[in-house]
Structure 1
Amino acid sequence: MASTCAQLCLRGTGPLYSKTVSSTWQYYTRVQQRIKVTRAPTKVISGSSIRGNHTTATTLTRLRWKQQICFYSDSAAKYLTTEAKEGTNTQELSRTNVGAHKTSLLPTRDAALTTENNHISLADLDPVAQPSALEEISDEEAISISVPSAIPPVSTTLRDYVDKSETLSKLVQLGVNLWKLEQRPNVGSMLLRLNFNTDVAPRLLFLKDIGVEDSRFGYIISHNPFILTESLENLQARVNYLKSKNFSSETVASMVSRAPYLLNFSVKRLDNRLGFYQQQLNLSANNTRNIVARLPRLLCGSLEPVKENLKVCEIELGFKRNEIQHIVLAVPKLLTANKRKLTEIFDFIHNTMKVPHHLITKFPQVLNSKHLRLRERHLFLEYLGKAQYDPTLPNYITLDRLVSLPDETFCTELALATLEDFYLFQKTL
């Protein structure tokens, strides 16, 4: 730096250059004096004292000194170059600018060089010197450290988000089975985007207002989480439609509790479903409401299994239309029963037990019984010689009692045998 200043002096050939270089040397002298002052300070850093550390002080002050001299020398060089081009006519104006520049620059650099009591901070001058991760801290500092909540960006289970999401935690308290919902596509992401106060709570209050019990909230949302995204206007319109068809408020609440998807369908679809059952089964409006109220999922599921079962009962099983109507009014579940199970039970009753169609129509509950239970009891009665299902003959056994009585009552009242005998007979099958 000294050689640079000397070269500037040799190149300048006028009073302006001499004054400028003189100012440079004055600033260089001030920096050297400041370095002498900061040779051996005492500074407390992170609770420890540094006394007379000559190497550290020399390195730090040298770094700051070089920064100051380089900055001012560059400024002086730029100024001299500009003056050489502009000529001597602008010397007075340039001298004024140099004075202004020095006035505004020097106090800033001077203030940056020292701190209070002429002590230089290690953290201010050395950017590498940062607090160590192994440095001991106080309990107060440890408590003040804020750790961001670790919410996984991607997860295969909602369990990782329950503690961080108010919506999920409240749904768990309501009895919602999150493990069922997370297996369905996009349902987990939908639930995480919902706000409990603005999205979930209003729907729960709506269900409560129409008569749904609080204990059914978990069941409804577990099977139909999309009800939380339906608008309250649409939900109210569908409830109003059902009531307009003379469904009582208690019936509507019961239907919604047992068929969670009921309120997700539009008024038009609900109307089409009611019209379908009324026309296909030739039912009155009262009987249509009866079967739908007892099995509300008839309004939610597909109509294809229903149409297929009606054809099976008429074509394969040989029932007449009025017999099918009677069977459906007694056991609406047969409309959605498994086709294979329905034909298997009918085949055993009609072809093995020799029960005619009109008796099956009189006791249609037998078509909804378990095939194994029916087979074991019939074979036990046949073994005892008491398998009598003709009402015109003595010792007549009705089909409803055959399948509905518990084992002990069946043995004592119908088979006239002990329960142990029945269990031993079952082992022979």
Structure 2
Amino acid sequence: MNSIRTKLFDLLISARPLLQFTLNVRKRNLMFTWHSLALNTDGSFRSNVWKGNNLPIQNIYVTSHRYYSKNTSHGSLITPETSSASELTMKENVCDSVALLEEECSFPVSENEDWSSEMKWIKSQESKDVLSPPKDLSEIDNLSPELRPTFNLAAYANRSHTLQQLIKLGVDLSNWDKRKHINSFILKLDFERDMKKYLMFLHDVGVEADDLGKWLTVNPLIFKENLENLQVRLDYLHSMNFSPDQITRIISKNPNWLLFSTVRIDNRLGYFQRTFHLTGAEVRLLATKQPKLITMNLFSIKRTSFAIEEEMGFSPSEMKSLLLSQPKIWRANGVSLLRRFEIAHNQIGLSHSQIVQFPQILMSRDFRIKQRHDYLKLIGRDQYDPLKPNYVSPSALVSSDDVEFCTTIAKTSVQNFNDFLKTR
């Protein structure tokens, strides 16, 4: 140990101008580097020999080959006139610094320690091939780098217990990747602490265990809501005389319903009741039959209502009948809806009352309606008046498959119908 201290002191004292000195001390995976000390005869330079716990151990001043030592704890300065005392003080302070370094780092430094063995170990680590297979396969996760920000949750699935539990429930994590800020929010949650209580709440409402995955895929923001607020929204439905079965269907079919406050839901239900002149029972029927319609964008609903009443020519009572029997019409694309009405009303010749009686014709694909009507017209069976013989129900144009349509309605073979379709 004395030899190490002597060598360190000699290096500091015999340092030449512009000499840079760095001492590296290694112990396995731990490396301490002493700050470089530059000695320049033309000016003055100060450097901390070593810092432990943010406390400077020793400052050394060098000016024109005259060394001054200042103890930072006492603030005393040794003058040039006492150069011999300066060197002695420097030697003692440096040795004390080395001793403190050993005490702080708890290095097992001995008098006769062979540093070549340490250097040999360092070289073996530097020459180690990172691509070589590990001895223990369980260490693979520990050898991999830390996870960085990614664009999807797949990188975290193997390490996150929360994501693993969500996958077991059937959640489609790729769906969350398409939505902004969902991934960063979900990764901060703990399944047992933050999610389990919501799952129990949904189960108590009536959401089936097999449907929880699909439900959470649509609405992961449920974990941001307060459970007390969710219970208030359920209590509102009970106060509006919704039955437990109706509430279960509403929450199961429309996961986003619980994100709406009671004030917003009340305003939506009131809008439908005023606009379409519905009774309380009819409002509950509409909300149960098509719960997603209640939380839709009101602009789209108003645009569809205008098209049905003004562009298609349905009366308010007929529009109300369409809403209660086929509320999906208000969720359909406006352009497609007008095209289907044009085929049914202008080409096939169905009246408004017939369309109200068979509203599913407005929800079918327009080319399918046209193909079957043209085929019936070709064989002379396009007769949609119920007061005349050979009546064909408009629902037959959309409800049955090709085999049933040919055998029951058209009274021909499927091959003839397929041959007709080839000419289209």
Q: TM-score scaled by structure 2?
A: 0.72
CA distance 1:219–1:119, change in 2 (3 Å): same
CA distance 1:141–1:170, change in 2 (3 Å): closer
SS in 2 for 1:270: helix
- Alpha-carbon deviation of 1:122? 3.1
CA distance 1:317–1:163, change in 2 (3 Å): same
Structure 1 or 2: larger strand share? 2
Q: How far apart, CA to CA, are the structure 1 residues paired with 2:224 and 2:191?
A: 12
Partner of 2:209: 214
SS in 2 for 1:153: coil
Q: How far apart, CA to CA, are the structure 1 residues paired with 2:354 and 2:138?
A: 81
Partner of 1:63: 7
Partner of 1:418: 413
Moved more, 310-319 or 240-249: 240-249
Q: How far apart, CA to CA, are the structure 2 residues paired with 1:183 and 1:167?
A: 19
- Alpha-carbon deviation of 1:351? 0.9
Partner of 2:113: 121
5+ residue gaps, structure 2, are 15-57, 59-66, 83-91, 129-133
Amino acid in structure 2 at the alignment position of 1:186 = H
Q: How far apart, CA to CA, are the structure 2 residues paired with 1:146 and 1:337?
A: 50
Partner of 1:39: none
Q: How far apart, CA to CA, are the structure 2 residues paired with 1:319 and 1:195?
A: 54
Amino acid in structure 2 at the alignment position of 1:293 = T
CA distance 1:120–1:332, change in 2 (3 Å): same
CA distance 1:61–1:211, change in 2 (3 Å): closer
Contact in 2 for aligned 1:122/1:129 (Cα 8 Å): no
- Alpha-carbon deviation of 1:201? 1.0
| Structure of greater Rg | 1
CA distance 1:187–1:64, change in 2 (3 Å): closer
- Alpha-carbon deviation of 1:151? 3.3
CA distance 1:313–1:151, change in 2 (3 Å): same
Partner of 1:254: 249
Deviation string, structure 1 residues 85-108 (Cα, Å, up to 9, x no partner): 9xxxxxxxxxxxxxxx9xxx9xx8
- Alpha-carbon deviation of 1:402? 2.7
Moved more, 62-71 or 303-312: 62-71
* 1:252-291 equivalences in 2 (<5 Å): 252-291=247-286
Deviation string, structure 1 residues 230-268 (Cα, Å, up to 9, x no partner): 110111111111121122222222221211101000000
Amino acid in structure 1 at the alignment position of 2:113 = S
CA distance 1:397–1:167, change in 2 (3 Å): same
Q: How far apart, CA to CA, are the structure 2 residues paired with 1:193 and 1:161?
A: 12
Partner of 2:391: 396
Give the count of matched residue pairs: 345
- Alpha-carbon deviation of 1:338? 1.2
Partner of 1:342: 337
CA distance 1:349–1:122, change in 2 (3 Å): same
Partner of 2:361: 366
* 1:9-48 equivalences in 2 (<5 Å): none
Contact in 2 for aligned 1:151/1:161 (Cα 8 Å): no
Query: 298, 303, 312: which is aligned to 1:308?
Result: 303
Matched, 1:233 2:177: no
Amino acid in structure 2 at the alignment position of 1:171 = L
Partner of 2:374: 379
Query: 156, 170, 189: which is aligned to 1:161?
Result: 156
Amino acid in structure 1 at the alignment position of 2:206 = G
- Alpha-carbon deviation of 1:146? 9.7
- Alpha-carbon deviation of 1:129? 7.6
SS in 2 for 1:151: coil
Q: How far apart, CA to CA, are the structure 1 residues paired with 2:162 and 2:211?
A: 18
Amino acid in structure 1 at the alignment position of 2:164 = S
Deviation string, structure 1 residues 16-47 (Cα, Å, up to 9, x no partner): xxxxxxxxxxxxxxx9xx98xxxxxxxxxxxx
Amino acid in structure 2 at the alignment position of 1:63 = K
CA distance 1:143–1:260, change in 2 (3 Å): closer
Question: Once superposed, what is the RMSD of the aligned Cα atoms?
Answer: 3.9
Contact in 2 for aligned 1:291/1:332 (Cα 8 Å): yes
5+ residue gaps, structure 1, are 1-30, 36-59, 86-100
Deviation string, structure 1 residues 256-295 (Cα, Å, up to 9, x no partner): 1211101000000010111111111111111111111011
Deviation string, structure 1 residues 54-90 (Cα, Å, up to 9, x no partner): xxxxxx696279599999xx99xx99x89x99xxxxx
Q: How far apart, CA to CA, are the structure 1 residues paired with 2:140 and 2:158?
A: 21
Amino acid in structure 2 at the alignment position of 1:120 = N
Partner of 1:331: 326
| Identity percentage of aligned residues | 31
Query: 145, 149, 152: which is aligned to 1:150?
Result: 145
SS in 2 for 1:376: helix
Q: TM-score scaled by structure 1?
A: 0.71
Contact in 2 for aligned 1:199/1:229 (Cα 8 Å): no
Q: How far apart, CA to CA, are the structure 2 residues paired with 1:185 and 1:140?
A: 42
- Alpha-carbon deviation of 1:424? 0.7
Q: How far apart, CA to CA, are the structure 2 residues paired with 1:189 and 1:423?
A: 53
Partner of 1:202: 197
Structure 1 or 2: larger helix share? 1
Q: Which of structure 1's runs of 4+ aligned residues deviate more than 4 A?
A: 64-71, 125-130, 139-146
Q: How far apart, CA to CA, are the structure 2 residues paired with 1:142 and 1:369?
A: 57
- Alpha-carbon deviation of 1:189? 0.6
Q: How far apart, CA to CA, are the structure 2 residues paired with 1:224 and 1:65?
A: 70
